[in-house]
Amino acid sequence: MNWLRRGSSGGTPSEPLWKEEFSVRTADERYVTRRQLTKFLVLTSLGMFVGNIWILIRSLFYKVPVYPQQPVAQLGEIPVGGVKLFSYPTKDDHCIMIRTGKDEYVSYSQKCTHLSCAVYYSQAENRLECPCHKGFFSIKDGAVLQGPPSRPLPRIVLEARGEQLVAIEVKG
Amino acid sequence: MPTSNDRPPQNRGLTAIVGAMSLITVLLIVQIWLLSAALESFLSGNRHSALPAAIFSGVMFLICLGLYAFVDRVDSEVRGSENGR
Ligand code: FES
Protein backbone atom coordinates (compact mmCIF):
# COMPACT_ATOMS: atom_id res chain seq x y z
CA MET A 1 0.00 0.00 0.00
CA ASN A 2 3.03 2.20 -0.28
CA TRP A 3 1.86 3.55 -3.65
CA LEU A 4 -1.21 4.98 -1.93
CA ARG A 5 0.77 6.91 0.66
CA ARG A 6 3.79 8.33 -1.00
CA GLY A 7 4.97 9.76 -4.28
CA SER A 8 7.65 7.79 -5.92
CA SER A 9 9.58 10.83 -7.11
CA GLY A 10 9.74 14.54 -6.49
CA GLY A 11 6.84 15.18 -4.03
CA THR A 12 7.25 15.46 -0.27
CA PRO A 13 7.45 12.01 1.23
CA SER A 14 4.62 12.78 3.71
CA GLU A 15 2.17 13.63 0.89
CA PRO A 16 -0.03 10.81 -0.37
CA LEU A 17 0.43 9.80 -3.98
CA TRP A 18 -2.99 11.05 -5.11
CA LYS A 19 -2.04 14.61 -4.10
CA GLU A 20 0.98 14.45 -6.32
CA GLU A 21 -0.82 12.97 -9.29
CA PHE A 22 -4.00 15.05 -9.05
CA SER A 23 -2.33 18.29 -8.14
CA VAL A 24 -5.17 20.59 -9.30
CA ARG A 25 -7.47 21.29 -6.37
CA THR A 26 -11.15 21.76 -7.10
CA ALA A 27 -11.33 24.78 -4.80
CA ASP A 28 -8.36 26.40 -6.54
CA GLU A 29 -9.93 25.74 -9.90
CA ARG A 30 -13.10 27.52 -8.77
CA TYR A 31 -11.00 30.50 -7.71
CA VAL A 32 -9.41 30.84 -11.11
CA THR A 33 -12.76 30.53 -12.90
CA ARG A 34 -14.38 33.18 -10.73
CA ARG A 35 -11.43 35.51 -11.12
CA GLN A 36 -11.54 35.07 -14.87
CA LEU A 37 -15.28 35.72 -14.90
CA THR A 38 -14.72 38.87 -12.84
CA LYS A 39 -12.10 40.00 -15.33
CA PHE A 40 -14.52 39.35 -18.19
CA LEU A 41 -17.29 41.31 -16.42
CA VAL A 42 -14.95 44.25 -15.83
CA LEU A 43 -13.90 44.21 -19.50
CA THR A 44 -17.58 44.24 -20.50
CA SER A 45 -18.06 47.19 -18.17
CA LEU A 46 -15.16 48.92 -19.97
CA GLY A 47 -16.92 48.17 -23.27
CA MET A 48 -20.11 49.84 -22.01
CA PHE A 49 -18.11 52.88 -20.90
CA VAL A 50 -16.38 53.10 -24.30
CA GLY A 51 -19.84 52.90 -25.95
CA ASN A 52 -21.02 55.85 -23.87
CA ILE A 53 -17.88 57.81 -24.74
CA TRP A 54 -18.53 57.08 -28.43
CA ILE A 55 -22.07 58.48 -28.12
CA LEU A 56 -20.65 61.52 -26.30
CA ILE A 57 -18.11 62.14 -29.08
CA ARG A 58 -20.82 61.74 -31.73
CA SER A 59 -23.04 64.26 -29.98
CA LEU A 60 -20.19 66.73 -29.42
CA PHE A 61 -19.23 66.67 -33.09
CA TYR A 62 -22.78 66.54 -34.35
CA LYS A 63 -23.33 68.82 -37.34
CA VAL A 64 -26.82 70.14 -37.98
CA PRO A 65 -27.69 68.71 -41.40
CA VAL A 66 -28.54 71.08 -44.22
CA TYR A 67 -31.64 69.92 -46.08
CA PRO A 68 -32.39 70.73 -49.69
CA GLN A 69 -35.64 72.42 -50.67
CA GLN A 70 -37.51 70.08 -52.94
CA PRO A 71 -40.95 70.38 -54.54
CA VAL A 72 -42.80 67.15 -53.80
CA ALA A 73 -46.34 67.70 -55.10
CA GLN A 74 -48.78 70.16 -56.58
CA LEU A 75 -51.44 71.58 -54.27
CA GLY A 76 -54.63 69.60 -54.82
CA GLU A 77 -52.77 66.88 -56.66
CA ILE A 78 -54.04 64.22 -54.28
CA PRO A 79 -57.60 63.98 -52.90
CA VAL A 80 -58.42 64.35 -49.20
CA GLY A 81 -57.41 61.07 -47.55
CA GLY A 82 -55.08 60.35 -50.47
CA VAL A 83 -51.42 59.44 -50.28
CA LYS A 84 -48.33 60.27 -52.28
CA LEU A 85 -44.93 58.65 -51.95
CA PHE A 86 -41.73 60.54 -52.65
CA SER A 87 -38.04 60.54 -51.70
CA TYR A 88 -36.47 63.20 -49.49
CA PRO A 89 -33.74 64.38 -48.75
CA THR A 90 -31.92 61.70 -50.80
CA LYS A 91 -33.46 59.30 -53.27
CA ASP A 92 -32.97 56.46 -50.77
CA ASP A 93 -35.07 58.14 -48.06
CA HIS A 94 -38.64 57.20 -48.86
CA CYS A 95 -41.40 59.37 -47.45
CA ILE A 96 -45.16 59.30 -47.34
CA MET A 97 -47.43 62.33 -47.68
CA ILE A 98 -51.10 62.26 -46.69
CA ARG A 99 -53.70 64.91 -47.39
CA THR A 100 -55.64 65.05 -44.13
CA GLY A 101 -57.91 68.00 -44.95
CA LYS A 102 -58.74 70.51 -47.65
CA ASP A 103 -55.58 72.51 -46.96
CA GLU A 104 -53.79 70.11 -44.66
CA TYR A 105 -50.93 67.87 -45.58
CA VAL A 106 -48.66 65.80 -43.36
CA SER A 107 -45.57 63.93 -44.35
CA TYR A 108 -43.33 61.41 -42.58
CA SER A 109 -40.39 59.19 -43.30
CA GLN A 110 -41.70 55.86 -44.49
CA LYS A 111 -39.05 53.97 -42.57
CA CYS A 112 -40.42 52.42 -39.37
CA THR A 113 -38.30 53.41 -36.36
CA HIS A 114 -38.32 49.82 -35.13
CA LEU A 115 -36.62 47.78 -37.86
CA SER A 116 -37.04 49.99 -40.93
CA CYS A 117 -40.01 48.34 -42.65
CA ALA A 118 -42.08 50.68 -44.84
CA VAL A 119 -45.12 52.11 -43.10
CA TYR A 120 -48.39 52.69 -44.96
CA TYR A 121 -51.47 54.81 -44.34
CA SER A 122 -54.57 53.04 -43.08
CA GLN A 123 -57.52 55.22 -44.04
CA ALA A 124 -59.96 53.09 -42.01
CA GLU A 125 -57.98 53.62 -38.79
CA ASN A 126 -56.57 57.00 -39.80
CA ARG A 127 -53.05 56.11 -38.71
CA LEU A 128 -49.77 54.94 -40.15
CA GLU A 129 -49.19 51.23 -39.77
CA CYS A 130 -46.12 49.07 -40.00
CA PRO A 131 -47.00 45.59 -41.28
CA CYS A 132 -43.88 43.89 -39.88
CA HIS A 133 -44.63 43.92 -36.13
CA LYS A 134 -47.85 45.91 -36.00
CA GLY A 135 -46.31 49.22 -35.00
CA PHE A 136 -48.85 52.04 -35.31
CA PHE A 137 -48.09 55.76 -35.56
CA SER A 138 -50.30 58.80 -35.12
CA ILE A 139 -51.15 60.70 -38.27
CA LYS A 140 -51.07 63.99 -36.32
CA ASP A 141 -47.46 63.98 -35.16
CA GLY A 142 -45.98 60.58 -36.02
CA ALA A 143 -45.99 59.50 -32.35
CA VAL A 144 -46.01 55.79 -31.54
CA LEU A 145 -49.54 54.57 -30.74
CA GLN A 146 -48.77 50.90 -30.34
CA GLY A 147 -46.16 48.26 -30.97
CA PRO A 148 -42.42 47.82 -30.61
CA PRO A 149 -41.16 51.14 -32.09
CA SER A 150 -39.91 53.41 -29.34
CA ARG A 151 -39.38 56.60 -31.36
CA PRO A 152 -41.82 58.63 -33.45
CA LEU A 153 -41.54 58.76 -37.23
CA PRO A 154 -39.34 61.61 -38.49
CA ARG A 155 -41.57 64.36 -39.86
CA ILE A 156 -40.97 66.06 -43.19
CA VAL A 157 -41.72 69.77 -42.92
CA LEU A 158 -43.76 70.95 -45.91
CA GLU A 159 -44.31 74.49 -47.11
CA ALA A 160 -46.82 75.71 -49.67
CA ARG A 161 -45.15 77.91 -52.28
CA GLY A 162 -47.54 79.08 -54.94
CA GLU A 163 -49.10 75.95 -56.33
CA GLN A 164 -46.38 73.73 -55.03
CA LEU A 165 -45.72 71.82 -51.83
CA VAL A 166 -42.04 72.01 -50.98
CA ALA A 167 -40.22 69.78 -48.50
CA ILE A 168 -37.81 71.93 -46.52
CA GLU A 169 -36.63 69.92 -43.51
CA VAL A 170 -36.70 66.60 -41.62
CA LYS A 171 -37.56 66.85 -37.93
CA GLY A 172 -36.88 64.10 -35.39
CA MET B 1 -23.55 28.47 16.12
CA PRO B 2 -20.60 28.73 13.71
CA THR B 3 -19.62 32.28 12.78
CA SER B 4 -17.91 33.39 9.58
CA ASN B 5 -14.62 33.43 11.49
CA ASP B 6 -14.95 29.71 12.17
CA ARG B 7 -15.00 28.98 8.46
CA PRO B 8 -11.74 28.16 6.67
CA PRO B 9 -10.10 31.23 5.04
CA GLN B 10 -10.65 29.85 1.56
CA ASN B 11 -14.43 29.73 2.15
CA ARG B 12 -14.43 33.25 3.54
CA GLY B 13 -12.45 34.39 0.49
CA LEU B 14 -14.98 32.74 -1.79
CA THR B 15 -17.86 34.52 -0.04
CA ALA B 16 -16.11 37.87 -0.53
CA ILE B 17 -15.43 37.11 -4.18
CA VAL B 18 -19.04 36.06 -4.83
CA GLY B 19 -20.24 39.27 -3.12
CA ALA B 20 -17.94 41.42 -5.24
CA MET B 21 -19.00 39.59 -8.40
CA SER B 22 -22.68 40.12 -7.64
CA LEU B 23 -22.02 43.83 -7.17
CA ILE B 24 -20.12 43.99 -10.47
CA THR B 25 -23.02 42.20 -12.21
CA VAL B 26 -25.54 44.72 -10.85
CA LEU B 27 -23.33 47.63 -11.95
CA LEU B 28 -22.96 46.04 -15.38
CA ILE B 29 -26.73 45.72 -15.79
CA VAL B 30 -27.11 49.41 -14.90
CA GLN B 31 -24.36 50.27 -17.42
CA ILE B 32 -26.08 48.28 -20.18
CA TRP B 33 -29.33 50.10 -19.44
CA LEU B 34 -27.49 53.44 -19.41
CA LEU B 35 -25.89 52.75 -22.78
CA SER B 36 -29.17 51.76 -24.42
CA ALA B 37 -30.96 54.79 -22.93
CA ALA B 38 -28.17 57.14 -24.09
CA LEU B 39 -28.23 55.64 -27.59
CA GLU B 40 -32.01 55.85 -27.76
CA SER B 41 -31.97 59.48 -26.69
CA PHE B 42 -29.10 60.31 -29.11
CA LEU B 43 -31.01 58.75 -32.02
CA SER B 44 -34.14 60.70 -31.16
CA GLY B 45 -32.20 63.96 -31.43
CA ASN B 46 -31.58 64.72 -27.75
CA ARG B 47 -27.84 65.29 -27.35
CA HIS B 48 -27.77 66.59 -23.77
CA SER B 49 -27.96 63.25 -21.99
CA ALA B 50 -24.72 61.90 -23.51
CA LEU B 51 -22.39 63.66 -21.04
CA PRO B 52 -24.10 62.61 -17.75
CA ALA B 53 -24.51 59.09 -19.12
CA ALA B 54 -20.80 58.89 -19.96
CA ILE B 55 -19.82 60.24 -16.52
CA PHE B 56 -22.03 57.74 -14.67
CA SER B 57 -20.83 54.91 -16.85
CA GLY B 58 -17.22 55.89 -16.14
CA VAL B 59 -17.84 56.00 -12.39
CA MET B 60 -19.42 52.56 -12.53
CA PHE B 61 -16.51 51.21 -14.53
CA LEU B 62 -14.09 52.57 -11.90
CA ILE B 63 -16.11 50.88 -9.13
CA CYS B 64 -15.99 47.62 -11.10
CA LEU B 65 -12.24 48.05 -11.48
CA GLY B 66 -11.89 48.62 -7.72
CA LEU B 67 -13.94 45.52 -7.01
CA TYR B 68 -11.76 43.53 -9.39
CA ALA B 69 -8.66 44.72 -7.52
CA PHE B 70 -10.37 43.63 -4.28
CA VAL B 71 -11.17 40.19 -5.72
CA ASP B 72 -7.59 39.85 -6.91
CA ARG B 73 -6.22 40.80 -3.48
CA VAL B 74 -8.54 38.48 -1.56
CA ASP B 75 -7.69 35.71 -3.96
CA SER B 76 -3.95 36.05 -3.55
CA GLU B 77 -4.31 36.42 0.26
CA VAL B 78 -6.30 33.21 0.48
CA ARG B 79 -3.88 31.45 -1.79
CA GLY B 80 -1.00 32.73 0.32
CA SER B 81 -2.58 31.45 3.55
CA GLU B 82 -3.30 28.13 1.83
CA ASN B 83 0.31 27.72 0.78
CA GLY B 84 1.56 28.82 4.21
CA ARG B 85 -0.34 26.04 5.92
S1 FES C 1 -40.33 47.14 -38.25
FE2 FES C 1 -42.05 48.33 -37.87
S3 FES C 1 -42.86 47.47 -36.10
FE4 FES C 1 -41.12 46.32 -36.45
Per-residue pLDDT tens for A4-62?
554 444 445 567 777 777 766 666 666 566 778 888 999 999 999 999 999 999 999 88
| Helix, strand, coil percentages for chain A (3-state, nearest 5) | 25, 30, 40
Atom number of ligand 1 nearest to Cα A130: 2
- Among A133, A146, A151, A153, the mutation site with the greatest number of ligand 1 atoms within 8 A of its Cβ is A133
- Angstroms from A126 CA to nearest CA on chain B: 24
Q: Where are the domains of chain A?
A: 2-60, 70-171
At position B61, the amino acid (one-letter code) is F
Contact B21 A44 (CB under 8 A): no
**ipTM of the assembly?**
0.84
Secondary structure class of A136 (helix, strand, coil): strand
Would you say the CB of residue A117 lies under 6 angstroms from ligand 1? yes
Where residue B46 falls among pLDDT bands split at 50, 70, 90?
Answer: confident
Q: Which chain A residues are closer than 8 Å to B68 by Cβ?
A: 38-39, 42
Considering only CA atoms, which of A82, A109, A106, A115 is closest in space to residue A95? A109
d(C-alpha A161, C-alpha A69), whole Å: 11
CATH match for A70-171 among 3.40.50.10880, 2.102.10.10, 3.30.1330.20, 3.20.20.10: 2.102.10.10
d(C-alpha B9, C-alpha B4), whole Å: 9
Mean pLDDT of A96-125: 94
